[in-house]
Amino acid sequence: MAQTPEEGHAAQADKPFNIGEMITHHVADSHEWHFATIGHTHVTLPLPVILYIPGEGLEVFSSSRFHAEGHHESGHEKHTYKGFYIDEADGKLKATDPSRKFYDFSITKNVASLFLSAILLVVVFGSIASAYKKRSGQAPKGLQSLFEPIVVFIRDDIAKANIHGKDKHGHPMYEKFLPYLLTVFFFIWFNNLLGLLPGGANVTGNIAVTLFLAVATLIATHIRSNRYYWGHIFAPPVPKALWPIMIPIELIGILTKPFSLMIRLFANITAGHIIILSLLGLIFMFRNVFVGGVVVPFVLFLNGIELLVAVLQAYIFTLLSSMYIGSAVEGHESHDDLGH
């Protein structure tokens, strides 16, 4: 995300550099993948726009249609296509007729990045899996030995450590949730790292993505929850007089846990991007090379921190998910051990 801020903006003398706009542009989603602006030429990958209009059906066209006339001096002029335009204020696609109802399923920058990360995940772990098959009984090598300790760590220290008990077939309960936890961990980590690349999208710093992940954990938590878990919520081990207070608190607790997951990931990743962008923005606000000399090493340092945050947030999300799942599938015996 630490993308070269737009020299184009700064160069336009009539339009002063607006740091807020620049940050919004980089952190928010977009209908095109903008890599850089060299002079007045935007290096942009147009992305498909997919709209579902009730009564009219699907409408698919390239986002370059909004720039059909090419680049004018006033390059940010409103261009409408089939009654739609991109609102420069928030980068959203809007209908010229505000009463017209439509749903935007466009392949935006975030969606494209999502696809990229999905392909990367499938290719990387598919090749690792085939390496395990091909080199069965041999020591791991290459990518395999890079990711094996991480997979083992997630299995032993995240899943096995927090999800106890066995299912009715005698298999350890954690095995049921391990695929989900591994997928979540690597999905978040890979997307965090892709987001740190110059020109990368802010996928894990988007509330829709973290909302989905939090809901997934909410579902995973309750899919195999046992009667002890529900007993704890609807018949908490406190005097009955407190039940009218405790039961609503426990019910809200069901939702606050995934809510905290959603906000934590979103806020950490977005905040990291905003800090880096703000610091880089200082160079263009002051237009001073000495500011650059101070800011660039500091941004480099922050980028290092962000690399750590990328793996840390993936770890925290996975760990907390497994703890929530663990608390819902835990047997009664271990509850007593914890003093509940």
Partner 1 sequence: MHALTAVFAADILSPELGLLFWQFVVFILILWLLSKFAWKPITGALKEREDSIENALKSAEQAKLEMTRLKADNEKLLEEARAERDAMLRQARQTADGLIEEAKNKAAAEGNRAVEAARQAIQQERQAAIQDIRQQVASLSLEIAEKVLRGQLKDEAAQRTLVNRMVEDSNLN
DSSP assigned state of 40: T
Q: Identify which range of 76-84, 144-152, 243-251, 301-309 contacts partner 1 by CB under 8 A.
A: 144-152
What is the identity of the amino acid at 37? T
Pick the closer one to partner 1 by CB: 27 or 276: 27
Read off φ and ψ for residue 37, nearest 5 degrees.
-125, 120
**Interface mask (CB under 8 A) for partner 1, residues 236-255, using x and -?**
--------------------
Query: Partners of 166 in the beta sheet?
Result: 172
**Burial readout 29-68 (b: 16 or more C-beta within 10 A, e: otherwise):** bbbbbbebbeeeebebeebbbbbebeeeeeeebebbebbe
82-141: which residues touch partner 1 (CB under 8 A)?
89-92, 103-108, 110-111, 114-115, 118, 121-122, 125-126, 128-130, 132-133, 136-137
Pick the closer one to partner 1 by CB: 7 or 148: 148
Query: Partners of 43 in the beta sheet?
Result: 36
- By CB under 8 A, residue 193 contacts partner 1: no
Pick the closer one to partner 1 by CB: 213 or 310: 213
**Interface mask (CB under 8 A) for partner 1, residues 44-83, using x and -?**
------x---------------------------------
Give one word for 47, left, alpha or beta, with left for phi > 0 and alpha for psi -120 to 50: beta
Binder among 21, 36, 165, 224 for partner 1 (CB under 8 A): 21
Binder among 63, 192, 221, 270 for partner 1 (CB under 8 A): 270
Question: CA 84, CA 298: separation in Å to the nearest integer?
Answer: 42
Least separation in angstroms between CB 326 and partner 1: 18
H or E segment at 282? helix 243-286
DSSP assigned state of 243: H
Pick the closer one to partner 1 by CB: 47 or 299: 47
- Give the end-to-end CA distance of the chain in Å, rounded to a whole number: 46
Question: CA 63, CA 30: separation in Å to the nearest integer?
Answer: 10
Q: Which residues bind partner 1 (CB under 8 A)?
A: 20-21, 23-24, 27-29, 50, 89-92, 103-108, 110-111, 114-115, 118, 121-122, 125-126, 128-130, 132-133, 136-137, 148, 151-152, 155, 175, 178-180, 182-183, 186-187, 206-209, 211-213, 216, 270
